[in-house]
Structure 1
Amino acid sequence: MNASLSEKKLPAVWAGLLWILTALHIYPILLVLLSSVRTKADLAASPFGLPKQLTFEYFATAFQTMHYLRSLFNTGLIACLSVGLCVVMAAMAAYAIVRRNNRFYRAMYILFLAGIIIPFQMTMIPLYKVLQTFELINTFQGVIFIYIGSLAPFSVFLLCGFVKGVPRELEEAALIDGCGRYRTFFRIVLPLLKPAVTTVSVLNVFYVWNDFLLPMLYLSDSKKMTITVQLASFQGLYFNDWSLIFAGVCMIVLPMLIIYLIAQRFIISGITAGAVKG
């Protein structure tokens, strides 16, 4: 009897712990949202309290001060080009590494793994010298090249595991039907990697979208700055307008939230599934 009661109480205890953890995760998000619609005086008087009066003027001010549409376009352009090119090349590299299991490709795989270990802070000065040599400082091309190199190791590492789940029989059947190696990859293998490619793409887009250091170092023109660098302009040396900063944060997060909600199904399937369906 006592054992049955304890078994009934255990799910309730776990549910309570999950609700507590959920509240701990949601509270900072709600704090940012509420702080973005509060007046400066209200926020200064009670930083963690409920708003006494709602105002949306800071969103309009942030929209103009950040040059939101222009910085949004700059960030989207850099993210789409760098992630798109990186994922295609990473998928091809992962396919070659898995299918051609010899010393050269094993060494290439180790080289990609080394790229995950080395932090960007160790390479940012040599990269600046390289971009300066090729006259790519303050250009989108230079930033995109660096992002491709930075994202490639992690992308290859993840995609290699998914390529191993693609049956060789499908490729052999395509080769018998007359498909070449590249056509087999783009027509047979790559579509089967759709969940994994979507997962890697979304994770990489999040990284590029939220990155502050790289565009700050290599983009000096205010018309080419990304959205996170524009947000930093709200911070002063002696004073920070927190209501304006919180409004800008909400405007930065909104596009990524929409992308995540659209691609959520593919992300979950890409993380949990590595086998071929059908």
Structure 2
Amino acid sequence: MLFRRFSLIVYALLILIPLLVVMLTSVKTLQETFANPLAFPEGGIKFDNYIAIFQEQTMAGYFLNSTIVTLFSVTLTLLFASMIAYGITRLNSWIGNALFVLFTLGMMVPAQVIMVPLYSLMLDFGLTNSLVGLILVNISSTLPIAVFILTGFMKTLPKELFEAATIDGAGNWQMFAKVAIPLSLPSLSATAIFLFVMHWNDLLYPLLFITDNAYKTLPLALLEFQGQYSTNYPMLFTGVIIASAPMVIAYVFLQRFFVAGMTAGAVKG
């Protein structure tokens, strides 16, 4: 018991110390940071970096781009994944199993392997430097993992409920909307949080497809604070905190759904 508590304290410190350094650096000047990275800012805490990052940089536009891309990517991925997962579970034959295996194989392909053909395809369709193109790529890249998660949960739903709905005259779309979706809300919520973190933090695809400042997302915009010979750490860490804030807020308010979704279906009655 004592060793476990000691291990938890060490683990907590490993997380808290870098977090405190980031927060302290974000309220200091560049000179204060290089003079003593771990010291408190001279003259008290100042929020000049937070004001400057929105005044001098187009951070509000980057934030809006990330919000649009993330919301549309998560919503459409959940919509398509839930329909596919429902179809796989309702087919209940080798066709459903083959589709499930096909989407599972999609999880095994690293994004770096398909970067060149994917860029060529997006270029041919004129979808580079476009939020629409970025949303489409995000959906295609995370659809397999969403289908995998939701299919695993929907397979645990009682078949008797669907049989009763069929006897009452419900069609497949009615059963999907009024039976499968309401019962799958915990798993959908957990998957939504997982997808939100992936899309919000994504740097690879914006770096690959976006070169116009008007369409940059937050992770890509943070690279502007890194130069070849120097890095503006106070502004960089300020941007990191601003970019991380929505994820922290979302998890605080939705953590009960995340825990429920992760444990749903683990115990069968």
Matches within 5 A, 1:165-176: 165-176=156-167
- 1:156 corresponds to 2:159: no
Q: Count residues in correspondence.
A: 268
The answer to whether the 8 Å contact 1:113/1:157 transfers is: yes
Q: Shift of the alpha carbon at 1:108? A: 1.5
Which residue of 1 is the match for residue 224 of structure 2? 233
Matches within 5 A, 1:220-259: 220-259=211-250
Which of 53, 73, 77 lines up with 1:62 in the alignment? 53
Which secondary structure does the structure 2 equivalent of 1:178 belong to?
Answer: coil
Matches within 5 A, 1:60-209: 60-209=51-200
Q: Shift of the alpha carbon at 1:95? A: 1.6
Structure 2 counterpart of 1:22, which letter? A
TM-score normalized with structure 1 length: 0.91
After TM superposition, the structure 1 stretch with the greater mean CA deviation from structure 2, 266-275 or 57-66, is 57-66
- 1:270 corresponds to 2:261: yes
The answer to whether the 8 Å contact 1:97/1:160 transfers is: yes
In structure 2, what is the Cα distance between the partners aligned to 1:275 and 1:22?
Answer: 28
In structure 2, what is the Cα distance between the partners aligned to 1:143 and 1:105?
Answer: 29
Which residue of 2 is the match for residue 39 of structure 1? 29
TM-score normalized with structure 2 length: 0.94
After TM superposition, the structure 1 stretch with the greater mean CA deviation from structure 2, 151-160 or 64-73, is 64-73
Which secondary structure does the structure 2 equivalent of 1:233 belong to?
Answer: helix
Which secondary structure does the structure 1 equivalent of 2:107 belong to?
Answer: helix
Structure 2 counterpart of 1:14, which letter? R
The answer to whether the 8 Å contact 1:192/1:276 transfers is: no
Alignment deviations for residues 128-163 of structure 1 (CA, whole Å, 9 cap, x no partner): 111122221211221111111101111111111110
Unaligned runs of 5+ in 1: 1-10
Q: Shift of the alpha carbon at 1:231? A: 1.2
- 1:24 corresponds to 2:14: yes
The answer to whether the 8 Å contact 1:39/1:55 transfers is: no
Sort the Cα spacing of 1:29 and 1:35 in 2 relative to 1 into closer, same or farther, 3 A: same
In structure 1, what is the Cα distance between the partners aligned to 2:62 and 2:32?
Answer: 30
Structure 2 counterpart of 1:253, which letter? S
- 1:14 corresponds to 2:4: yes
Q: Shift of the alpha carbon at 1:275? A: 6.6
Larger radius of gyration between Structure 1 and Structure 2: 1
In structure 1, what is the Cα distance between the partners aligned to 2:198 and 2:102?
Answer: 21
Q: Shift of the alpha carbon at 1:276? A: 9.6
In structure 1, what is the Cα distance between the partners aligned to 2:124 and 2:31?
Answer: 51
Which secondary structure does the structure 2 equivalent of 1:123 belong to?
Answer: helix
For the aligned residue pairs, the C-alpha RMSD in angstroms reads 1.8
Q: Shift of the alpha carbon at 1:240? A: 0.8
In structure 2, what is the Cα distance between the partners aligned to 1:263 and 1:158?
Answer: 18
After TM superposition, the structure 1 stretch with the greater mean CA deviation from structure 2, 93-102 or 255-264, is 93-102
In structure 2, what is the Cα distance between the partners aligned to 1:229 and 1:76?
Answer: 14
Q: Shift of the alpha carbon at 1:116? A: 0.9
In structure 1, what is the Cα distance between the partners aligned to 2:16 and 2:54?
Answer: 25
Q: Shift of the alpha carbon at 1:277? A: 10
The answer to whether the 8 Å contact 1:166/1:275 transfers is: no
Which secondary structure does the structure 2 equivalent of 1:236 belong to?
Answer: coil
Identity between Structure 1 and Structure 2 (%): 35
